[in-house]
Amino acid sequence: MAYELYYWPTLQGRGEFVRLALEAAGAPYADMARGSETAGQGLPALLRGLADTQDPHRPFAPPYLRDGKFVVGQTAAILQYLGPELKLVARSEQARVWTQQIQLTIADIVVEAHDTHHPVDVNLHYEDQRPEARRRALAFCSTRIPKYLAWFDHIAKHNPAGPRWLVGGKLSYADLSLFQLIEGLNYAFPNATQRALRGKPALREVHERVAALPRVAAYLASDRRLPFNETGIFRRYPELDLV
């Protein structure tokens, strides 16, 4: 049975972290809101799940994943659930907890990246909060991106199994999510990100190693991989790429 992934149909967003795990593992899945695999159910399929008043475990927001009768929301929780099934996490409890800690740290910087263009209110347009956005972006580019990327580089370099991957000697969902994070930062803040990546070969090599995985490379070259755009988490506003 194929997994059912529910996310907004026109942007990568947080759903892309889940999608990369499914693609890298070669897992069968249907992208329900896009509709191509689901006989045109499209966006209504996503909205019905969010509005099901009879479901005691109704998701708060997308992304969420349905595996038969089992439904799980929140990107990190979805990946924690999928990790053992897709063999994208090590067997030991310590490794599983560490992988999830890395994933939650990635979730933290994703929120900070989003808040550069919506620092006051998510319901306001970017154009209505430009001064605040510039101030938030300055701190994000000058301090927060370097701090996060230095930590990711450190854990790659000090992985007891070697620097090929973040956890142990095999690919994990944390590696895939780190790849997506760097892709998003490179799109939204290319100058600040490239500056922060200088002198961090371990981090760059994990990113490049993920991109070269055959299934990931095939996905990135396909039309299933939507381009970044200015409706997602990572948005390119050149005036916010401050170094």
Q: Which of 140, 146, 116 lies closest to 237, judged by CA?
A: 116
- Torsional sign, CA 52, 57, 61, 64: negative
Element (H, E) at 64: strand 64-67
pTM for this one?
Answer: 0.94
Residue 8 has pLDDT above 80, yes or no: yes
pLDDT tens, position by position, 81-135: 999 999 999 999 999 999 999 999 999 999 999 999 999 999 999 999 999 999 9
The reported pLDDT for the residue numbered 83 is: 98
The reported pLDDT for the residue numbered 53 is: 67
Write out the two tokens for 39. 């006989």
Lowest-confidence region among 17-26, 52-61, 135-144, 161-170: 52-61
Rounded distance, CA 194 to CA 108, Å?
A: 20
The reported pLDDT for the residue numbered 166 is: 98
Q: How confident is the model at residue 57 (pLDDT cuts 50, 70, 90)?
A: confident
Answer whether 236's CB lies under 8 Å from 187's CB: yes
pLDDT tens, position by position, 139-151: 999 999 999 999 9
Rounded mean pLDDT, 33-58: 69
Answer whether 88's CB lies under 8 Å from 172's CB: yes
Question: Which residues on neighbouring strands pair with residue 30, listed in sequence order?
Answer: 4
Residue 204 has pLDDT above 60, yes or no: yes
Instruction: List domains and CATH numbers for the chain.
Output: 3-86 (3.40.30.10), 93-213 (1.20.1050.10)
Residue 58 has pLDDT above 90, yes or no: no
- Percent of residues, the chain, with pLDDT higher than 90: 84
Higher pLDDT, 86 or 50: 86
Classify 73 as helix, strand or coil: strand
Answer whether 136's CB lies under 8 Å from 243's CB: no
Higher pLDDT, 115 or 46: 115
